C-alpha cells in the first residue's frame, strides 16, 4: 500500500537507497488511524517483504498545547489539564505536578494526605498494568477477552475514584499541599475489599496468560532492549527495569512517604516483550503490598494545610524539576516561576515520548506483526506523547 | 553528588577554555544550574557522562525556554556617603536583560543514583543566531526532545542526526511556544 | 401513521401507492428498513484521545454496547456506518478525519463525543486544536461531557437510533444514500504554513451571531 498521498511530512523513503533493483521495498504508513497504535500515532515503515528495514515514528496528531495553555491559565487551573496527559492514569499525573509546585513554592504536605496519595497512586498503577496486559494481548490477537477481564477490575477501582473525587477518569483530585477532599464514609473498607480480591484476580489472569504458549512464542526474544541503550536513551519505568536496570524512583528519590513501605522492585533479565509484560504483573503484586500497608496505617488528620494558597499562589521566582515513578515511567514537571500567578515555563517530561526513542532499534529486523507487539509492550499513551 | 562549585572547577580543568557560570535559583527548590558556553558544551557533556566521579549517564529532560528582552528594576542596598556619614541607602537600578533562547538539560546518574545536575545553554539572540550544539551524540534521550525544542522554539541544534519538526506539521513555519507567538483566530464571520 | 409519500423514482410505486392508500404498508417497510439499520450500527474504531477510553469501556462487559448491536467496531472505514469522533481533533489530524469520513460508504453518521469534538473543549485556546469537528463534517449527535460516561455514550447512540428510525425514505428529507443528488464527501482541509485552511467549511459551519 503506497501511501505517498497521505504524507504531509518528509518521506522516510527519501533517505533510503535500495541495494539492488531486485529488492521490493514497500513504504507503509501505519497510522495515525490504526487499530493497534494505541491512539493517533503514525509509524512510517519501510519493509523488505515483511521485515522492517526502517521505522520513523511521527507524532503530533494529539498535540493539544498543554504547556502553552498552562502558561496562560495559571498554577491551579493547570491541574485538570494534567489529568488529560496520560489519560488513563489521572492521579499520578496530578501527583507529579503538585509535587513540583510544592518543591517550587516550599509547601509541605500533611501526613494523611501523603498516605492518600500513595493509596490512589498505587491503585492507578494496578489498573494501568493490568490494562496494559489486556491491550498487549489484544494486539497479539486475543481480541477482547483479557481486556474484558482487565477492564472489569478497572471498573471496581474507577468506582472508588468516582466516590472519592466525583469523576471516574479525570479526577482533578490532588492539590498543592494535599488533596481536595477526604475519603467518604466506608471508602477505606471498600478499597480494602478491592485490594484483597485483586490478588485472586491476578492469579486467574496469570493462569490464563503467563504460561500461554502463544504469548510466550510471540513475546520471548522479541524486541530485546539492551540495558546500556535503555539508559542512554532515557527509557524509564517498567521497560527499563525489564532490561535489568534497578532504577525505580520510589526507591531512588523516596518521594512522599514511600520510604516507609516494604516492597521489591522486579527486574527482568532479557529485556524482551515477555519481560516487560512480566515486570508489570509482578509490580502489580508489589503494589498490593503497599496498598495493604497504607490502608492499615493511614492516620487521622488534615488533608490540606489550611494556610496553603490555592487560587492566589505566587511562588517565589525560581525553578524546580520534580518527578515521580508514574506507571509509564518517570513523569517529570519543570516549572519556572517569575513571581507571578502563572508559570513562566511549564514543561512536562513525558515518559511515553522518551521511551519511544528506541522503538526503531527494537523493531529493526522484526516483522510487521512484531512491531505491533513491541509498541504495545512499551506502553504509551498519546496524550502524554504529544501533550 | 559534588557541589556545583566542585563540578564547575572540574569542568574548567577538564575542558580548557570552557566558560562556566553558576546560575543561582532563588526559590525553595534549591536547584541551581550551570551555564556552559555553546562552544564547549559537547566536550563538557562527554566528561560529565564518562568521568568515574560523575557518571551522568541519563539525560532526563530537555526544555526550551524563551527569554525575550526585558527591562527590570531592582532595589538594592548600597553604601553611600550621605552628609559625611557612610550609610546604607536603597537605590533603584535598571537592568536590561538580553533576549535569548535557552535549552535546559536535567541530568541524573543511574549508576550512582545521584542528581539532578542542571545544565543551561543559551543562544546569542532570538532572531538569527539561534544555534546550539546538539547533545544527542552524548545522550540519545535528547533526540526527540531537542527536535521538540527546535519545533516549538526555533533553536537549531547542530549535530543532531535528524533535526526536523516533531509535533507541528512539516510545512508549518512558526515557533508556537515563543512568548510573542499569536495563534491565528478560529472565528468565522457569521 | 397514514402519511403518503409521492415517489416518482421507484419503479414499484404502482402497487405501493395502491397499498399505501391504506396507510400501512409503506410505513411498515420504512419501519422494517430503519429497524434493521438502527440495530446494527457498526462504529468505526476511531478514538482520538481520552474519550476513546470511555468508548472502550462502553464496549466492555459492564456497559456492553453489544446490546445495541454496535459492538463490531470496524478498523476499516469502508465497513463502518458510524464515526464516533472521540477526542480532540487537532489541526494536524483534521485532514485525516475528513478523509476517513469520505471513505465511509453511505449511510453514514457522525457522533461528536465529548467537549473537544463538539467545540474544542478544555483545549479550545490551543494553537493546534480545531474547535469542533462540526466545522468540517455534519454531526448527527453531540454528546457532552469530559469525558462523557459510557452511559452517556449509550444514550447518544440511542438518540442516533431514534434519528434513524424517524428518517423517511422518500421525499425531500430522505437520507443521502437514497438521494443521488447529494454527495457524502466533504473537502478535507489543507495544512498550510501558519494554519489549517480553511478553518471551517462554510457549507457546514454557520455560526450563529450572538445577540448582545
Cα–Cα distance for residue pair C110/C141, rounded to 1 Å = 7
Query: Is a pLDDT exceeding 50 seen at residue A3?
Result: no
- Long-range residue pairs from A274-278, CB within 8 A, at least 24 positions apart, any chain: A274/A215, A274/A216, A274/A219, A274/A220, A274/A222, A275/A242, A275/A243, A276/A238, A276/A239, A276/A242, A276/A377, A276/A378, A276/A379, A277/A132, A277/A133, A277/A136, A277/A215, A277/A219, A277/A377, A278/A210, A278/A242
Q: A with B: how many residue pairs have Cβ under 8 Å apart?
A: 112
**Of the candidate ranges B9-13, B94-98, C185-189, the one whose mean pLDDT is the lowest:** B94-98
Query: Is a pLDDT exceeding 60 seen at residue A370?
Result: yes
Is residue B18 within 8 Å of residue B11, measured between CB atoms? yes
Does A289 or C33 have the greater pLDDT score?
A289
Average pLDDT over residues A290-303: 94
| Partner-chain residue, chosen from A234, A318, A357, that has the shortest CB–CB distance to B60 | A234
Query: Is a pLDDT exceeding 70 seen at residue A58?
Result: yes
pLDDT score, position A121: 96
Residue A74 covered by a domain: no
Query: Is a pLDDT exceeding 60 seen at residue A352?
Result: yes
**DSSP state letter for B43:** H
**Of the candidate ranges A208-212, A323-327, C5-9, the one whose mean pLDDT is the lowest:** C5-9
pLDDT score, position A8: 47
Cα–Cα distance for residue pair A32/C210, rounded to 1 Å = 37
Does A18 or C21 have the greater pLDDT score?
C21
% of chain A beyond a pLDDT of 70 = 94
Residue A84 covered by a domain: no
The pLDDT tens digits of the residues spanning A299-310 come to: 999 999 888 888
pLDDT score, position C173: 73
Kindly state whether A320 is in contact with chain B, defined as any CB-CB distance less than 8 angstroms: yes
% of chain C beyond a pLDDT of 90 = 51
Residue A201 covered by a domain: yes
User: Looking at beta carbons, which residues of chain B come within 8 Å of A334?
Assistant: 61, 63, 104, 106
The pLDDT tens digits of the residues spanning B49-98 come to: 999 989 999 999 999 999 998 887 878 887 777 777 777 778 888 888 88
Enumerate the β-bridge partners of residue B74: B93
pLDDT score, position A160: 95
Kindly state whether A247 is in contact with chain C, defined as any CB-CB distance less than 8 angstroms: no
Inter-chain residue contact C95 with A8, CB threshold 8 Å? yes
| Partner-chain residue, chosen from C191, C205, C209, that has the shortest CB–CB distance to B171 | C191
A299-338 residues touching C, CB cutoff 8 A: none
Instruction: Give the C-alpha distances (Å, rounded to integers) separating A264 from A223, A246, A386, B155.
Output: 25, 11, 32, 42
In this complex, the chains that touch B, judged by 3 or more CB pairs closer than 8 A, are A, C
User: Looking at beta carbons, which residues of chain A come within 8 Å of C147?
Assistant: 169-170
Q: Please, where are the H alpha helices in chain B?
A: 4-14, 41-50, 142-153
Range of the domain at A295: 114-299+360-386
CATH number, position A149: 1.10.645.10
Is residue B133 within 8 Å of residue B158, measured between CB atoms? yes
Closest residue in chain A to residue B68, using alpha carbons only: A344
Local confidence band at B168 (pLDDT 50, 70, 90 cut-offs)? very high
> Which domains are seen in chain B, by residue range?
4-67+100-158 (3.30.460.80)
Residue A262 covered by a domain: yes
The pLDDT tens digits of the residues spanning C79-93 come to: 999 999 999 999 999
Inter-chain residue contact B176 with A65, CB threshold 8 Å? yes
Residue A325 covered by a domain: no
Give the global pTM: 0.89
Kindly state whether A341 is in contact with chain C, defined as any CB-CB distance less than 8 angstroms: no
User: Looking at beta carbons, which residues of chain C come within 8 Å of A382?
Assistant: 49
The pLDDT tens digits of the residues spanning A217-238 come to: 999 999 999 999 999 999 999 9
Nearest-Cα distance to chain A for C190, in Å, is: 10
- Report the number of distinct structural domains present in chain A: 1
User: Looking at beta carbons, which residues of chain A come within 8 Å of B144?
Assistant: 59, 353-354, 356-357
Residue A323 covered by a domain: no
The pLDDT tens digits of the residues spanning A135-186 come to: 999 988 888 889 999 999 999 999 999 999 999 999 999 999 999 999 999 9
Kindly state whether A60 is in contact with chain C, defined as any CB-CB distance less than 8 angstroms: yes
Kindly state whether B171 is in contact with chain C, defined as any CB-CB distance less than 8 angstroms: yes
Is residue B55 within 8 Å of residue B29, measured between CB atoms? no
Cα–Cα distance for residue pair C147/B124, rounded to 1 Å = 45
Closest residue in chain C to residue B173, using alpha carbons only: C193
Kindly state whether A61 is in contact with chain C, defined as any CB-CB distance less than 8 angstroms: yes
> Which domains are seen in chain C, by residue range?
23-170 (3.40.50.12280)
Q: Which residues contact B185 (CB under 8 A, 6 or more apart)?
A: none
The pLDDT tens digits of the residues spanning A77-109 come to: 999 999 999 999 999 999 999 999 999 999 999
Query: Is a pLDDT exceeding 80 seen at residue A215?
Result: yes
The pLDDT tens digits of the residues spanning C11-61 come to: 455 665 666 565 665 567 888 888 888 888 999 978 899 999 999 999 998
pLDDT score, position C5: 43
Q: Tell me the ipTM for this assembly.
A: 0.88
The pLDDT tens digits of the residues spanning A314-340 come to: 999 999 999 999 999 999 999 999 999
Average pLDDT over residues B166-173: 92
The pLDDT tens digits of the residues spanning B124-167 come to: 988 888 999 999 999 999 999 999 999 999 999 999 999 999 99
H or E segment to which residue A292 belongs: helix A273-297
pLDDT score, position C15: 62
Taking the CA of residue C130 as centre, how many other CA atoms within 13 Å lie in the half-sphere pointing to its CB? 36
Q: How many CB atoms neighbour CB A204 within 10 A?
A: 11
Query: Is a pLDDT exceeding 60 seen at residue A21?
Result: no
Query: Is a pLDDT exceeding 60 seen at residue C3?
Result: no
Residue A350 covered by a domain: no
% of chain B beyond a pLDDT of 70 = 99
Residue A153 covered by a domain: yes
Kindly state whether A33 is in contact with chain C, defined as any CB-CB distance less than 8 angstroms: yes
pLDDT score, position B190: 57
pLDDT score, position A376: 92
pLDDT score, position A63: 94
pLDDT score, position B78: 79
Exposed/middle/buried for residue A23 (C-beta within 10 Å: 0-12, 13-18, 19+): exposed
Enumerate the β-bridge partners of residue A52: A47
Both ends of chain B: CA-CA distance in Å?
62
pLDDT score, position A103: 93
Average pLDDT over residues A43-64: 92
Closest residue in chain B to residue C129, using alpha carbons only: B186
Amino acid at each position: 500500500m503506497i501511501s505517498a498521498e497521505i504524507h504531509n511530512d518528509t518521506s522516510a523513503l527519501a533517505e533510503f537507497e535500495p541495494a539492488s533493483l531486485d529488492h521490493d521495498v514497500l513504504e507503509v504508513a501505519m497510522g495515525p488511524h490504526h487499530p493497534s497504535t494505541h491512539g493517533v500515532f503514525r509509524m512510517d515503515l519501510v519493509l523488505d517483504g515483511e521485515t522492517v528495514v526502517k521505522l520513523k515514528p511521527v507524532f503530533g496528531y494529539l498535540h493539544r498545547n498543554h504547556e502553552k495553555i498552562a502558561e496562560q491559565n495559571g498554577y491551579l487551573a493547570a491541574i485538570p489539564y494534567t489529568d488529560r496527559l496520560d489519560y488513563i492514569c489521572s492521579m499520578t499525573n496530578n501527583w507529579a505536578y503538585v509535587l513540583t509546585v510544592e518543591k517550587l513554592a516550599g509547601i509541605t504536605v500533611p501526613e494523611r494526605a501523603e498516605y492518600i496519595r500513595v493509596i490512589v497512586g498505587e491503585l492507578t498503577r494496578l489498573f494501568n498494568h493490568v490494562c496494559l496486559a489486556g491491550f498487549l494481548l489484544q494486539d497479539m490477537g486475543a481480541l477482547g477477552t483479557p481486556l474484558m477481564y482487565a477492564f472489569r477490575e478497572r471498573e471496581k477501582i474507577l468506582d472508588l475514584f468516582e466516590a472519592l473525587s466525583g469523576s471516574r477518569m479525570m479526577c482533578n483530585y490532588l492539590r498543592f499541599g494535599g488533596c481536595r477532599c477526604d475519603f467518604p464514609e466506608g471508602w477505606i473498607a471498600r478499597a480494602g475489599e478491592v485490594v484483597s480480591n485483586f490478588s485472586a484476580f491476578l492469579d486467574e489472569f496469570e493462569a490464563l496468560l503467563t504460561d500461554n504458549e502463544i504469548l510466550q512464542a510471540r513475546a520471548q526474544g522479541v524486541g530485546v532492549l539492551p540495558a546500556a541503550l535503555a539508559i542512554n536513551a532515557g527509557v524509564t519505568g517498567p521497560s527499563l527495569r525489564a532490561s535489568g536496570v534497578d532504577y525505580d524512583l520510589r526507591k531512588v528519590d523516596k518521594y512522599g512517604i514511600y520510604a516507609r513501605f516494604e516492597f521489591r522492585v522486579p527486574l527482568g533479565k532479557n529485556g524482551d516483550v515477555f519481560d516487560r509484560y512480566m515486570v508489570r504483573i509482578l509490580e502489580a503484586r508489589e503494589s498490593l503490598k503497599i496498598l495493604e500497608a497504607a490502608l492499615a496505617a493511614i492516620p487521622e488528620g488534615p488533608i490540606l494545610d489550611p494556610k496553603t494558597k490555592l487560587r492566589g499562589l505566587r511562588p517565589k521566582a525560581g525553578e524546580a524539576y520534580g518527578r515521580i515513578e508514574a506507571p509509564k515511567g518517570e513523569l517529570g514537571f519543570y516549572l519556572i516561576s517569575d513571581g507571578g500567578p502563572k508559570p513562566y515555563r511549564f514543561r512536562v517530561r513525558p515518559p511515553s515520548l522518551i521511551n519511544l526513542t528506541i522503538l526503531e532499534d527494537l523493531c529493526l529486523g522484526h516483522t510487521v506483526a512484531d512491531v505491533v507487539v513491541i509498541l504495545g509492550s512499551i506502553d504509551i499513551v498519546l496524550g502524554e506523547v504529544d501533550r | 553528588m559534588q557541589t556545583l562549585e566542585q563540578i564547575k572547577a572540574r569542568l574548567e580543568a577538564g575542558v580548557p577554555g570552557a566558560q562556566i557560570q553558576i546560575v543561582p535559583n532563588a526559590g525553595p527548590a534549591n536547584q541551581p544550574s550551570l551555564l556552559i558556553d555553546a562552544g564547549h558544551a559537547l566536550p563538557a557533556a562527554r566528561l560529565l557522562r564518562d568521568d568515574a566521579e560523575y557518571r551522568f549517564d541519563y539525560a532526563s529532560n530537555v526544555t526550551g525556554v524563551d527569554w525575550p528582552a526585558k527591562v527590570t528594576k531592582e532595589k538594592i542596598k548600597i553604601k553611600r556617603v550621605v552628609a559625611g556619614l557612610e550609610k546604607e541607602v536603597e537605590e533603584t537600578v535598571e537592568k536590561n536583560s538580553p533576549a535569548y533562547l535557552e535549552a535546559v538539560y536535567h541530568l541524573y546518574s543511574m549508576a550512582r543514583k545521584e542528581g539532578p545536575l542542571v545544565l543551561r545553554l543559551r543562544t546569542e539572540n532570538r532572531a538569527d543566531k539561534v544555534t546550539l550544539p546538539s547533545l544527542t551524540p552524548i545522550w540519545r534521550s535528547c533526540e526527540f526532545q531537542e527536535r521538540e525544542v527546535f519545533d516549538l522554539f526555533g533553536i537549531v541544534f547542530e549535530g543532531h542526526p535528524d533535526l526536523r519538526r516533531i509535533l507541528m506539521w512539516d510545512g508549518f513555519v512558526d515557533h508556537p511556544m515563543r512568548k510573542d507567538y499569536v495563534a491565528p483566530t478560529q472565528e468565522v464571520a457569521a | 401513521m397514514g402519511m403518503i409519500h409521492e415517489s416518482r423514482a421507484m419503479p414499484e410505486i404502482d402497487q405501493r401507492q395502491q397499498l399505501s392508500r391504506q396507510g400501512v404498508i409503506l410505513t411498515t417497510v420504512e419501519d422494517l428498513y430503519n429497524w434493521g439499520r438502527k440495530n446494527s450500527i457498526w462504529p468505526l474504531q476511531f478514538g482520538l484521545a481520552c474519550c476513546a477510553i470511555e468508548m472502550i469501556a462502553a464496549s466492555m462487559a459492564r456497559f456492553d454496547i453489544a446490546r445495541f448491536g454496535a459492538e463490531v467496531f470496524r478498523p476499516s472505514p469502508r465497513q463502518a456506518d458510524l464515526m464516533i469522533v472521540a477526542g480532540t481533533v487537532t489541526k494536524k489530524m483534521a485532514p485525516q478525519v475528513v478523509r476517513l469520513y469520505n471513505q465511509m460508504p453511505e449511510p453514514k453518521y457522525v457522533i461528536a463525543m465529548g467537549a473537544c469534538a463538539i467545540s474544542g473543549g478544555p483545549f479550545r485556546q490551543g494553537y493546534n486544536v480545531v474547535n469542533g469537528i462540526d466545522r468540517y463534517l455534519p454531526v448527527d449527535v453531540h454528546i457532552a461531557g469530559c469525558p462523557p460516561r459510557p452511559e452517556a455514550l449509550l444514550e447518544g447512540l440511542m438518540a442516533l437510533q431514534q434519528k434513524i428510525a424517524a428518517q423517511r425514505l422518500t421525499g425531500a428529507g430522505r437520507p443521502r444514500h437514497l438521494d443521488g443528488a447529494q454527495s457524502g464527501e466533504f473537502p478535507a482541509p489543507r495544512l498550510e504554513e501558519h494554519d489549517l485552511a480553511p478553518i471551517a467549511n462554510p457549507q457546514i459551519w454557520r455560526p450563529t451571531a450572538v445577540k448582545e
